[in-house]
Amino acid sequence: MGFPGTWMTQSESMVYRVVPKCACSTIGQILYYSDNGTYFDGDIHDATGGMHKWSMEASQQAIADRVKGRQTYTFTCVRNPYTRILSSFFDKICGIQRNGRRYRGNLVPLLIQKYGIEVGGDDGKGEFDQIASFRRFLLFARDTIRWRRPMEPDIHWSAMSGHVSTLIVNGGRYDNIFWTEKFNEGMQSVLDAVETPQPVDLQQVPRFNESEGHGPKRAHPVEDYFDDLSMHLVYEIYHRDFEVFKYDFENPGNKMPVGEIDLDEVHAKLGD
């Protein structure tokens, strides 16, 4: 299994477990900058040098040694499950991707045919019933996660706890897990704990939101997308995310955490 989705600075100052839709582009660029003194020109997910990634075979031994040795500061970042699944819908399902095409080729036609979803036309810019389509997408997401039908679950809407757990199960341990909603505070706590070849001033870091502009703008407040059935589906998929990362399941309109993350609890509950 190893450590999928794990990135590390070349100086081995920090290890980061990527969680999709949780500021991963910005965090990746900060890691890159902290070694190289410049940002990667393009989407950091496309970088094949300047940092270690588990997806690059030449990096795997270095990452495995550092994660298992627990000598390198290891962290990740999480996000409210309600806003994360909404963001996935608008970016990946409704949006045109940076290659000019729909995400995963035949995925959107499948959703239109099998679940009756609308996505705003060929360019994603047309008017459509966002709330009805999102709720149908939520049924699809649940089907992929619960029954792996009509396809395997996608990393952008599979549970954060599943991503976070792989590092623990394979012998790693987190020093820090912080919230996207308190990004500067959380990322600063990481930078304060490590020494980097290049100093990073968070106030000067651009926001590298690679999904920005891919899809239509959200037309309603978050809570309008979630009726009782939708909340039930969200809980079915993400109950561990709410529990261990301390988000408010009862109120979709409250994106802020309602308690402190207990790292011992995270390791105990996600390490089995």
Spatial CA neighbour of 40 closest among 171, 208, 187, 159: 208
Residue pair 235/145 in contact by the 8 Å Cβ criterion: no
Per-residue pLDDT, 127: 87
Per-residue pLDDT, 207: 81
Mean pLDDT in consecutive groups of 10 residues from the start of the chain, 272 residues: 95 98 96 97 94 97 96 97 96 87 90 92 84 97 94 95 97 98 97 97 86 77 98 97 98 98 98 86
Per-residue pLDDT, 212: 58
pTM beyond 0.75: the answer is yes
Per-residue pLDDT, 213: 61
What's the rounded Cα separation, in Å, for the pair 139 and 142?
5
